[in-house]
Structure 1
């Protein structure tokens, strides 16, 4: 099984004093699959430092098609740009897996960043890494095969959860990958034939991570977007 990340890598990158200041201004928030943190176009009122679970940022087109833009797990924080200035979100942020997070009001977060520059620096370092990931994803979605992108996506989920099983329907997977259900099904069946996963009744279990890594495109670099320690 893969090695688990710390409770939250961004918090781990801070000094004990800055970490205490940040968590002291936050509240522990528990969420379940499907919980919506913010809808597209809404102003961001809170940021969440994920301790457990996954939050997906999903963009929706006028014709109803959707695609996951990025995901945030225990490596980071939602809406890092809100630590510097008020923002509205382009995408809908919703829970992809049950979890918990430190929830902090963005005005208070900006105040802490002014008082404690190391907090701002760490969050902006994470934001920079996330931006690089977004740029790479644009090329990936245009140029790589569905099976490769699906393998990469599963690995990135696996990096952010405990255990090896994901409860995901074909419909949900298609929405995340911006693909047709038939395309997702074909990709899942291909990965199952290689022995990388088992897939049945909306449940995916990763059996051979090394095989999944060999199948994934070059855009999977073997780690999540962590801030530098």
Structure 2
């Protein structure tokens, strides 16, 4: 995991509009186990609820893929939203999209197989970065998927056998996106549609 922007429970003092890369919102349990709640790429902004009112983050926000972002103080952004109704509308729509993703993820984590969830997660990463190779260790993948490392290894083997990816030495390369989409659960297609053509 890369740079940590804030920990769970912190007051949101800044929001980050992602230019490149990915930031993950990671839920952290008392026993240290983790699972990704949602990811943010060039389509959005971290902690969108804090754009409307003072808020504390429930999740740890950490860089997943290297990139750049523009940082805005939360109080300043709220002033800008009052001055610019268009900005307020876009941020409100994005906050709804994130809420929808959270609800879908709750069902996904409970009902779908590890290989399906892994495929969905890889596709969402692929949508947000350039290139087909991601630097991802088994330990990191387990922390994002809320699974054991052995489960992640089994899921990766399933995707390799399907010809969708190659996985070696902490690198995942998507070799056949169509094959990956066939394995992914329905939640990938039900995810937010606010992608780079609708930049915040």
TM-score band, normalised by the shorter chain? Answer: over 0.9
Alignment match, 1:156: 124
Alignment match, 1:106: 74
Structure 1 gaps, min length 5: 1-32
Instruction: Tell me how far 1:117 sits from its aligned partner.
Output: 1.2
Instruction: Tell me how far 1:80 sits from its aligned partner.
Output: 1.0
Q: Is the 8 A contact 2:97 2:192 kept in 1?
A: no
What TM-score, normalized by structure 1, do the two folds share?
0.83
CA distance in structure 2 between the partners assigned to 1:140 and 1:222 by the alignment: 11
State which of 178, 189, 192 in structure 1 corresponds to 2:146.
178
How many residues are treated as equivalent by the alignment?
A: 197
Alignment match, 1:143: 111
Alignment match, 2:35: 67
Alignment of 1:24-43 (within 5 A): 34-43=2-11
Instruction: Tell me how far 1:223 sits from its aligned partner.
Output: 6.5
What TM-score, normalized by structure 2, do the two folds share?
0.95
Structure 2 gaps, min length 5: none
Secondary structure in 1 matching 2:160: helix
Instruction: Tell me how far 1:225 sits from its aligned partner.
Output: 4.0
RMSD (Å) for aligned C-alpha atoms: 1.4
Structure number with greater Rg is 1
Alignment match, 1:115: 83
CA distance in structure 2 between the partners assigned to 1:69 and 1:177 by the alignment: 9
Structure 1 ranges of 4+ moved more than 6 A: none
Q: Is the 8 A contact 1:156 1:224 kept in 2?
A: no
**Greater share of helix:** 2
